Copies of this chain bind each other. A is one copy, B any other.
Amino acid sequence: MAVAIGERKRRAVRGELSEVALRLLTDRAFDSLTIEEIAAAAGVSRRTFFRYFASKEDVVFAFLDRWAVLLAADIVARPADEDPVAAVQNSFRQLTAAYNDRALALVRLVRETPSLQERERINREHLRIAVVNALATRLGLDSERDMRPQILATIAFAPLDAAMFAWFGNRAGEEIGRLLDEALDTFVRERDAMCAGLESSTKPQRRPRQPGRQ
């Protein structure tokens, strides 16, 4: 039986398709580029394209997905004694530092294409879930029953989100690492005011029963 060592060839074709599509996308808008053209430029048929990518968006995220996987893996692999929230920060800092120009151009493309933004949102959600599970594992908690991993993940992402948002917005020129520094600084300096306000205003309204589980 020809049991398909074609796994190697399959990768090659997939890479070629990505390559061609990304090259075409430097000139054209994502929506105006049809799969017909991508397939033709790569020398395969439209039908074959769909055997390698489930959708037009996939051909762009073939790169970006890898980045997210890398980040998640790095977070999980960090030393167990490191603070979980800090671990997320450090992994992020490390991977953004290694960002090459091509990935940066891709991020730009995603930012100005609605259908790609959707995929990015899904990616972020997956990443978040991965982080939640990683944090739960570190703390020895069940993320299905205990809310702490969820809360911790949100806290960890807060400075990241703020930095990314500023970068995507009107501060694209600045370095992402510096923006993250600023976001962390803001977070640390403002935390007392935040928590104080939250505490004083919600507690008198309704006394939450103490959750029984430890």
- Identify the A interface with B (CB < 8 A): 82-86, 89-90, 118, 121-122, 125, 144, 147-148, 150-152, 154-155, 157-159, 161-163, 165-166, 169-170, 178, 181-188, 190-191, 194-195, 197-202, 205-206, 208-211
The docked-state distance in angstroms from the alpha carbon of A125 to that of B121 is 9
CB neighbours of A147 from chain B (8 A): 162-163, 166, 182-183, 186
CB neighbours of A82 from chain B (8 A): 201
Task: Say whether, besides A121-B125, A150-B165, A205-B90, A188 and B182 are in contact (CB < 8 Å).
Answer: no
CB neighbours of A152 from chain B (8 A): 190, 194
Copies of this chain assembled into the complex: 2
Task: Say whether, besides A170-B144, A191-B191, A195-B188, A151 and B183 are in contact (CB < 8 Å).
Answer: yes
A206's nearest neighbour on chain B, judged by CB, is: B181
A154's nearest neighbour on chain B, judged by CB, is: B158
Task: Say whether, besides A151-B159, A161-B154, A187-B151, A211 and B198 are in contact (CB < 8 Å).
Answer: no
The docked-state distance in angstroms from the alpha carbon of A87 to that of B105 is 39
